[in-house]
Amino acid sequence: MRKTLTTVGLAASALATGVLLATPAAAASATTDFDVIFPGQKPETQYHVTNTADVSAGRITAKSVVSWQILVDQVVDNSKRFTSFKVTTRLESRPGKDNADAVETSRTCDLTKLVNDNYTWFQIEPVNTCTAPSMIYDGDLFWSSDSTIVYDIEGDGKGAITKEILGSPLVHG
C-alpha cells in the first residue's frame, strides 16, 4: 500500500511540474485605424489592422488582420481604388523590455485584389490575414507582432504611401 501511495505521489508531482513548466497560451493584440480619401467620387474608406502575437503549443506567431468599411453610404464610383495594397507582418523579439526589436520572421501579403473587389470586409479569414512564419517560443525574450501597410491609390499621382501600424503589446514569460 505504501509503495502504491509513493508511486501515485511521484506521478502527481511529475504531472504538476509538467503543468508548471508548460508554455502558457497567450495572445496580445493592438488595433490601428486609418482613413483613405480617394480622388473623384470613390467613397472614403476606413481601414482597421489588428496585430496579434500568439503563443500556442510552444510556438509564437505574428499575424495582421486587415478589415475595412466605406464611410459614405452611397457608392458613386465603382472603379479601381488601389494599384497596390500590401501588408508586411513581422514577428519581432528583444532581449529586454527596453531594448530594440529584432525581426525574427516576416511575410508580405498582397491584398490589392481583395480591397479593390470589396468595399467592406469585416470577416476574419485567411484571405485578409497576413501571418509571419512561427518560431519556437522563448519565454526569456520579449515578443511582439508588428506590421507596415504600403498602398498606392489609383489615379492620385502621389505614389506609394507607407503606414506603420501599432505593434502588439509585448509577450514575455
The CA distance from 2 to 4, in Å, is 5
The amino acid occupying position 81 is R
Q: Are 171 and 143 in contact (CB under 8 A)?
A: yes
160: enclosing H helix or E strand: strand 160-165
| Per-residue 3-state assignment (H helix, E strand, C coil) for 15-69 | HHHHHHHCCCCEEEEEEEEEEECCCCCCCCEEEEEEEEEEEECCEEEEEEEEEEE
pLDDT in tens, 56-104: 999 999 999 999 998 877 666 778 999 999 999 999 999 999 999 999 9
Taking the complete model, does pTM exceed 0.85, yes or no? no
Domain ranges of the chain: 24-165
pLDDT in tens, 5-48: 333 343 333 333 333 333 456 899 999 999 999 998 888 899 99
